[in-house]
Amino acid sequence: MRARWTLSVGLVGMVLAASSVGACGSSGNASEFDAGPDDRDLDGAPPFLVDGGDARACVGLECRKVTCSGGGKTTLSGTVYDPSGSVPLYNALVYVPNAPVDAFVPGVVCDQCGTVPSGRPIATALTNAKGEFVLEDVPVGADVPLVVQIGRWRRQITVPSVAQCADTPLAKDLTRLPRNKDEGDIPKIAITTGSADSLECFVRKLGVEAEIGNPDGAARIHLFRGNGAQIDASTPAATALWNDADALKRYDMVILSCEGDEHNQTKSAAARSNLKSYLDAGGRVFASHFHYTWFKNGPADLAKTASWAPNQNAGDQTVDIDTSFAKGEAFADWLVNVGASTTRAKVAMTELRRNVTTVPGAGAAPDASRRWIHAPNQDTKFYSFNAPVDLAPEQQCGRGVYTDIHVSSGDDSTGTFPGNCKTTGFTAQEKALLFLLFDLASCVQDDDEPPKPPAVK
């Protein structure tokens, strides 16, 4: 027997029938509805046109859509921000669901763009390079549900009232991503600390300090000690993470802080295989500087994502953004919009390193990896790849990035967290890495194509 549930929508109450459909990054139990008499607006809804011109009765919030005269529209607009509310975000998904939104399945999953999000959306939009969105043809009236999402960062809110045939602007505090579990979903993230890069302090600046803790606690973001900071004596070693394939696969993302050297004695062949398996299954890896060793000295498909050079200091430079693809174009615009750059496609950065020359490396397919940032001499400073590397885009699930751009240089990378975090606010290069961190968290797609909002069902 099919389950039935009731959704309160303010102006009308409806009884909706639920069945199972697939959903991107969800448990696969999003709701689909019958079009019987119980699903109509209490005042009697007109037929609802679906793709192909077939008419059916409207369902749920569809019954609160209106046709405006003179080409007018009913819209919701706003700007999506990072959890701290200080930096607008590109390519965030915003949608109105017409069914309950499912909890995420714990552990690593294959999250590809183009699948329908949980909740059977009836209006969808992506944010632009200013973090702005406009949702068109939304339901009118009281208590309209809204979802704001990037990957497994997700917040569900209720818009108190939507005006008919007009725009309803939303306050920024409604459309920022969640700071803690009480506000919404936060991906499960593992951060290994290092003596040369304080990525735990960088993540803390997002306003999520309450969710950073040891793996044995209830926090969503867990620290593992490489040769850097720790929370206390019970903070486990980084080897406890990467030596255990099952431990890795409990996380949506792994962030590896530079350790000041390769330290290959702590990264066995089995650990390298574990990291590759994690990436291939849908994991996300952010590797800072000397953690290039996971790629350069790892499995062959990862090694050929770049051409590698012996480590050198590259000093302070104004670097270039690669604008040869749609996301690169948006990145260049975004950096100007958030005040990280005064000249489009150029950013001043400090304490750079040199480990990568060209992307991809010899023997790789031309689209095996993607350059995002490069020095004036064309050396790559940040690149990404989708995994499994040798498969077609529609078969890829995971994503890895490499950066030789350090962050939080004023923090104590070997101290006790959070007291070791001394700096506040985002520097220009930290803003650049913030953009790239949220791109890493988002659904996997062929970067030769511009992002598109998912279809309305």
**Which pLDDT value is given to residue 10?**
34
Task: Please check the confidence at residue 29 and state whether its pLDDT lies above 70.
Answer: no
For residues 257 and 367, what is the distance between their CA atoms, to the nearest angstrom? 27
Cβ contact 400:306 at 8 Å: no
Cβ contact 216:309 at 8 Å: no
Nearest by Cα to 442 from 430, 427, 453: 453
- H/E run at residue 202: helix 199-204
Cβ contact 10:25 at 8 Å: no
For residues 173 and 76, what is the distance between their CA atoms, to the nearest angstrom? 15
Cβ contact 176:184 at 8 Å: no
For residues 411 and 22, what is the distance between their CA atoms, to the nearest angstrom? 44
Task: Please check the confidence at residue 277 and state whether its pLDDT lies above 60.
Answer: yes
DSSP string of 222-288, one letter each residue: EEEESSS-BSSTTPPBTHHHHT-HHHHTT-SEEEE---SS--GGGS-HHHHHHHHHHHHHT-EEEEE
- pLDDT per position as a tens digit, 162-196: 999 999 999 999 999 999 999 999 999 999 999 99
Q: CA of 369: how far to CAs of 304, 360, 364, 384, 449, in Å?
A: 9, 5, 9, 6, 14
User: Average pLDDT in the 345-361 region?
Assistant: 96
Spell out the domains of the chain, with CATH numbers in brackets.
4-169 (2.60.40.10), 189-441 (3.40.50.880)
Residues in CB range of 384: below 8 A, 6 or more apart: 369, 370, 372, 399, 400, 401, 402, 436, 439, 440, 447
Query: pTM value?
Result: 0.88
Q: What angle do CA 199, 304, 359 make, to 5 degrees?
A: 70
Nearest by Cα to 125 from 103, 101, 149: 149
For residues 35 and 59, what is the distance between their CA atoms, to the nearest angstrom? 7
For residues 237 and 379, what is the distance between their CA atoms, to the nearest angstrom? 33
- The residues that bridge with 197 in the sheet, in sequence order, are 194
The model's confidence at residue 41, banded by pLDDT at 50, 70 and 90, is very low
- pLDDT per position as a tens digit, 187-242: 999 999 999 999 999 999 999 999 999 999 999 999 999 999 999 999 999 999 99
Q: Label residue 196 left, alpha or beta by phi (over 0 means left) and psi (-120 to 50 means alpha).
A: alpha
- pLDDT per position as a tens digit, 88-127: 999 999 999 999 999 999 999 999 999 999 999 999 999 9
For residues 93 and 397, what is the distance between their CA atoms, to the nearest angstrom? 19
**Which pLDDT value is given to residue 91?**
98
User: Average pLDDT in the 324-336 region?
Assistant: 98
For residues 89 and 100, what is the distance between their CA atoms, to the nearest angstrom? 25
| End-to-end Cα distance, the chain | 24
Cβ contact 66:72 at 8 Å: no
User: Average pLDDT in the 40-53 region?
Assistant: 42
- The overall average pLDDT reported for the chain is 89
For residues 67 and 96, what is the distance between their CA atoms, to the nearest angstrom? 18
What is residue 203's three-state secondary structure? helix
Instruction: Please tell me the number of Cα atoms within 13 Å of 431 on its side-chain side.
Output: 24
Phi, psi of 224 (to 5 degrees): -125, 135
